[in-house]
Structure 1
């Protein structure tokens, strides 16, 4: 028997009919349109070929359809390649009857695969410039869905009104929005309205206008701004008053006695011992010593 689990014996005859189309299954990865046509052309001329692929990803589905020019050649190719070991797959080939062949079997055949940019096409379709009729249909659809949303909100028991697409279509979106804003502001308590007031900036809090750097509020009492002439006259009057008043003598600062410097303790120098030779005095030193004179 032939197969993955059985022994490789005599190859059985390929099942099939009298058609010219061969089904090839269990195609390994990397065996695509060009390889399929080049490999099966050794049996005879191929008129049409197509490898089935995924429409979204473009990956192979591992089966293909081949149409030979002669039905006899198709039968020979299916019988020769049935259970043929290719890489790690056993090819499954059979001749299809004419009734089995779908009219769309060879749609897009005889050409190299090209991946379709579905996302790019979808973006172009959505962003295209629409006509007046399309805009009208789209607006009706939005208004209808909004009406359903309003009914759901009312069914729950929520009293909520908003302009939405209806106000935009009727042209009263701005007025409706303004009236709704006033109503909601009147219904809100004072604490909520106070919390929503915008905070004053640092310049506004200090009373400084944005047009000029001068204080907006009233000037403080007793601190009126003086003119340069008034400042000059005040300075001259102060100088004359200083000349008339007797100058008080400031007492001289008493000099603090300087701290007595403590003499640094000098280290007592110990007299150097007379040089000795080998621990004994020399004969001359012994004669000059007072002990030697007393003995004499």
Structure 2
């Protein structure tokens, strides 16, 4: 029957592969999982599933309070692990989602005619509101026109 241990206080960059190599000195390892946040960075703890329960107990007892890379490991045997602790692909290395690049691509995407007209409408409404606000403060100011005489809206935003 397989045995599972919890490994806490993992050092930085101590991911699935190094964890598997480190604990393989005790016996056959079936699965390794390092808990990760939404950016795919390690949360500092993980789980190791050994082929035999006795090996897991020995590994947990031996590696508890073990100093590695300046951190003291906390290893604890889990007698009754939950079923959802390991899943298919839990050892797969995932790349972080490039949120900044996706947002940049979306922002720099060229606008079509309808989107351009919508933006011009929003901009004129905002400028009209500012003009009214300035009028209440006894300032007279005319904003320059958004679309000049001969230009089309797409020429304005899609250069």
Aligned to 2:34: 50
Residue 65 of structure 1: aligned partner: 46
- Name the residue aligned to 2:65: 83
Q: Distance in 2 between matches of 1:144 and 1:71?
A: 71
Tell me by how many angstroms 1:161 deviates: 1.7
Could you say which residue in structure 2 is the equivalent of 1:158?
Answer: 139
Superposed CA RMSD: 4.0
Q: Which has the higher contact order (CA 8 A, sep 6+)?
A: 2
Question: How far apart, in 1, do the equivalents of 2:66 and 2:17 lie?
Answer: 19
In structure 1, which of residues 174, 186, 193 is the aligned counterpart of residue 149 of structure 2? 174
Pick the aligned partner of 1:128 from 104, 109, 117.
109
The structure whose residues are more often strand, as a share, is 2
How many residue pairs match? The answer is: 144
2:149 match: secondary structure: helix
Separation (CA, whole Å) in 2 of partners of 1:150 and 1:71: 77
The CA deviation at 1:91 is 0.8
TM-score, normalized by length of structure 2?
Answer: 0.59
User: Match of 1:142, SS?
Assistant: helix
| CA contact 2:7–2:48 (8 Å) conserved in 1 | no
Distance 1:64 1:73, change over 3 A: farther
Q: Which runs of 5+ in 1 are unaligned?
A: 1-19, 176-296
Residue 90 (structure 1) shift: 0.9
Q: C-alpha separation between the residues in 2 aligned to 1:146 and 1:74? A: 73
**CA distance, structure 2, for counterparts of residue 139 and residue 145 of structure 1:** 10
Within 1, Cα distance between the matches of 2:114 and 2:11? 51
Separation in 1, partners of 2:117, 2:110: 13
- Residue 34 of structure 1 and its aligned partner are, at CA, apart by 1.9
Q: What's 2:11 paired with?
A: 28
Per the alignment, do residues 43 and 52 of structure 1 end up closer, same or farther by CA in structure 2, a change over 3 Å counting? farther
Cα distance in 2, alignment partners of residues 107 and 149 from structure 1: 57
Is the 1:50–1:66 Cα contact (8 Å) retained in structure 2? yes
Superposition TM-score, scaled by structure 1 size: 0.37
